[in-house]
Structure formats: C-alpha cells, structure tokens
Chain A
C-alpha cells in the first residue's frame, strides 16, 4: 500500500508583475490502486498541480505538503521523485535532439533500477511497448520527441509509462490533440498500466471524452486553483452535460 497525500498546497509562479499564486490550497489523497480524474477549465491550475508534484523549477511552493508514504516529496530533487515512484506524462513532451529514444529509455531505466536492464529481455520489452502503442520499431532510433507528430509524442509518453513502470502516474492532458484512434490506443495503454497491482493514476483533462475509455474512481472539479467539488464517476457525466459554467461563476 502506498499513498500520495497533498495537503493545503499553495504554489506561485514568477511573472513580470511579481509572484502570482496559481494553486490556492489543494488537498487530495490518492491511494494505491485508485484512479482520480481532475477536470477543469483552461487556466484553472490543474497542470500546475501536476508539474508542482513532479518538481518543475518554474513553480514555487509557498505552502502545504506533498508526501508519498509519509516521505516529503517537496524535499526531493526531480529525479529523486521519479525514483520514489512518480511519473509525469507531459502535455507537451520536450525534444532532446541527438538522443535516441532507445538510449533515453535505457538511461532512465538504469537510473530508476540502479542497474542496467538485462539486454535480452530489455529489447523485447521495448519493442513490445512500442508495438502496443502502434509505434514502428525504427521509432527507437529517432531522437527523443524530435519531429514526432502530436500523437506520436503522446504514445511515446505512454510507452515510457509501460516500460518505466512507476507507482504513480500523473497524466497531464494526455488526451489533448489526439484523434479518436490514437485516443483509444493511449487509453488502452493507461488501462493496461492500471491493471497492474497497486498502480495509481492522476488523470488531468479538459474534456470528458477520455473518460469513456478510462473509468476513474474519483472525479474532482478544479477551478481557480482549488478543488471545487469531488465525486464519483457520475460527476464527469454531469460535467459533460452542463460544462464548468456553474463552478466558474461561483469561483469568480
């Protein structure tokens, strides 16, 4: 059993007009085996939540705590958080020219496990993960995210989720920019991951359509830097029908 606990988290970002508070007290507990969906309008701060948990240097934590099984996540460096079991799939994965996907994956797996993966099973695992995401085997030889289509970038993120096998997956708008076929492939990948023992997912999305393929245990409406309402899967259906309007009006 492991638990990611976020308590009263406040986060600001530096702007030209000084520090701007984006998260205004977020409290959320994710137990292992659970999938939580965070839904909200643009600019509500839902991506900031994911990046703050992962430790992006752009965001300053001004208050609150994030713990993983009682360990202080905010004290950890970015790579220590990954080693502790966190994984962030990004909305806009970054290009790393000249570094092949194969080299990147192997370096990451070695860093996470503390030893190089066994060559024989490794190649099979990587090819299997690529295959599941409908990525050509030659994909491994391309530079990380360089010249990838939007869909390839997202499928590459989920292939990493499969191979690196973290305990907690933070998925930031993994569904944005995907056509319906790619959305199905990506959703299957996420569901395969969820089927593994004790895996947790924090699924951040603007749209409800991915929730047709991935059934969350809990749904949270995120507005103006905090959780406005929490509920079960039926809350997503209500949002699908009525949108964020009533929350946005209340938030202002």
Chain B
C-alpha cells in the first residue's frame, strides 16, 4: 500500500453513501446490474462489457503529446510508485479493472516553482479497435508550479481510464478533459485529485461526442486552504448518454470548492446525468462550497437527470449551497430578442451561446475558447433543421 493511501485512511471513517469503500481488487467489486445507486442512470448494455469482463488490450488509442516548455511527459511502468499518488482507490469495477489492466502510465510533471506558458496537450485518438483500452495518467504539479494540461479524446474507441491529479502545496493547476469522440465511442473515466495546502485546481470536463461518456471526478484535500473549481460543459445529441459524477470530499479545514456544470440536450433520447456530491467532514471547518448544474433542453425527446447531494458533518463552515435546473427556452427571452427582428432560430442560437459563454470564459484557456465556441455552433447546426421547422410553424 502506498503512503498516500495510508494517509487517506487515517481520516475518521464516515458512514456515507457518498463515499463507498474503494478497493484495488477487481473481484471486490461486483459486476453492476443496473440497480445500484451509482449505476442506475448508466446504460450498462452499451458499455461493451467493460463493466463486466470484456478484455483490455493496448492500441485502442494513439497518443500524441505536445508538451509546453518546462513540462516533462513520460511513460512509466505499471508498477511505478507514482501510480496511486493522488490517493485514488477504485470505487467501482470499471475503475478497478482499468487499474489492473493498464500496462503503463503517462506521467506529466510540472517542476517546483515553475510557471509554464501555454498548455500541454495530450491527444488520445481512438483507432477504431474493437478491443477496449485501459488508460492511466498521473499529472503532478509540484510545489508552487503553475500550468495547464489538456487531455483530448477523439475518434472511435472503447476506453476505461484512471486519471490522477496531484496539486502540491501552493501549486496552481488547470486540467481540461475534452471528450470530442466520434458517435460510437464509449469512455468511462475516473479522475481523482489531491489538492495540497493553499493549492488551486481548476478541473474542466467538456463532453460533446461519444455514445456513452461517463466521467467521475473526485477531489480531496491534503492540507488547509486548498481550492477546487470544477467546471463542466456538455452537449448531448440524439441517443447520446453523457454522465458526470462529481464528488468533492472536504477533508481539510478552510478549503473551497465551486462546481458549475452546464449542458444542452437535443434530439430523441439524448440523456444527460449530473450527480454532484459534496461531503463536509468534521475536521473541515471554515470551508466554502457551492455547486450548480443547469440543463437546457432544446428539443422534445431529450432527458436530463440532475442530483445534487450535500452531506455536512460540521456546522462550522463559511457556506454551503447548491442549485440545479432543467429548463427549456424561456419564452420571454425569445420574445424579447424576436421583438427586435431576430428570427426564432437566431434567437435560440444566441440564447444557447449565451448560456455557455460565461462558462467558456471561466475556463480561461485561450487555446480552447474559440474551439469550444465553434463546437457549440457545430452542435447547434446539427439541429438547425428542427429549429427552422419550428420557425416556419411559429
């Protein structure tokens, strides 16, 4: 067992459904049947068996690395001590299987006291292989380092991976995970962060493509004063299942978490799921947390589930809140825009761009802003015929 795991276990045990006991042993995790709380929203039949016993092999994705100057990116062996550095212990079978099946790990290291200009981009291109791939990455921002790391997933593939993020004391790290998969891809990702004393992590998940994309992001704190900003943007099309599960475990005092996920859904059986869990432990005095999820349903036939959970073990906190909304276009907004001569289609487009614009600005990665705005535009274009039909009948 690594030192990090031991340290994590030293905290008081919390009886919480938000915090299932993890295990590296695959067989300690039963094959999900679909009724389990953590699986009840996920279409298991479409997972190509990776939740059960489908084999993993190398070659599901081709990886290209564009490292910013000063950042080292290398491949380490599966038994390297760096695995587990974030305190990640798999809490479900897919994560445990991916852990066991990984033949190596990508290690991204940002050295102490360095401020890195520009983003380091790690691009995973799905090769269309029938066999699933198991991935592992460890991103370490050493003390007082500052950097941005972008993970991009595209093409066709079935992938289960574990992404570990370690933000050492005083470091400032942005990690963006962009799921821009082809329509048939399946991606289950477990991303876990350990945030040090007075460190900042901005974690961003952007999900556009894929048949089933399920992302679990969790964060814990290894010292007081740490801050996590967790942002998400998604666009679910007809038949797509996009699921984001967040868990912020306030394990230290004076820590902060701010979660904002926004998504748009369009088309028959487009399905988005957002679960936002926050646990405030007894020792986490003086913390501040807020989580928010907003869904904009653009057409009939789309469905969103949004479940915020807050479990509080101490009342000695600065603030804790959440908001969740699932709505359609606001008639008053559309009327206002249209009364200025703007067509219904154009008015809807403006509203959707506006819905995402604030969030895109908050992501704060210039290399991505334009790309995200144009992807939103492209997603809207898919649906433009439906919008125009509505225009004609309005």
Contacts and interface: CB of A to CB of B under 8 A. Distances in A.
Q: Do A and B bind each other?
A: yes
A78 B333 contact: no
Interface in A33-64: 54-58
A88 B343 CA distance: 16
Contacts of B335: 55-57, 78, 94
A97 interface: yes
B342 interface: yes
Interface in A64-122: 77-79, 81-83, 87-88, 90, 93-99, 103-104, 107-108, 111-112
Given A57-B331, A96-B351, A107 B338 contact: no
Given A98-B355, A103-B350, A104-B350, A93 B338 contact: no
B41 interface: no
A185 B319 CA distance: 42
A143 interface: yes
A55 B339 CA distance: 8
Given A94-B333, A104-B350, A111 B358 contact: no
B354 A93 contact: no
Contact of B340 (A56, A57, A58, A82): A82
Contacts of B331: 57-58
B264 to A, nearest CB: 12
B367 interface: no
Interface in B289-342: 330-333, 335-342
Interface in B346-362: 346-347, 350-351, 353-358
Residues of A in contact with B, size category: 20 to 34
Contact of A98 (B337, B340, B343, B358): B358
A82 B338 contact: yes
B350 A83 contact: no
B394 interface: yes
B341 A96 contact: no
Given A79-B341, A79-B344, A83-B341, A94 B354 contact: no
Given A54-B339, A57-B331, A98 B353 contact: yes
Given A82-B338, A96-B336, A111 B353 contact: no
Contacts of B343: 79, 111
Nearest to B352: A98
B351 A99 contact: yes
29 contacts: A55-B339, A56-B335, A57-B335, A77-B338, A79-B338, A79-B341, A79-B342, A79-B343, A79-B344, A81-B339, A82-B338, A82-B340, A82-B342, A88-B339, A94-B332, A94-B335, A94-B336, A95-B333, A96-B333, A96-B336, A96-B350, A97-B354, A97-B358, A108-B342, A112-B341, A143-B354, A160-B340, A164-B340, A164-B341
Listed from nearest, the 8 A-B pairs whose CB atoms lie closest are A98-B354, A98-B357, A82-B341, A99-B354, A108-B340, A78-B338, A94-B336, A112-B341
Given A57-B335, A83-B341, A104-B350, 4 more contacts: A78-B338, A79-B342, A94-B336, A95-B333
Interface of A: 54-58, 77-79, 81-83, 87-88, 90, 93-99, 103-104, 107-108, 111-112, 143, 160, 164
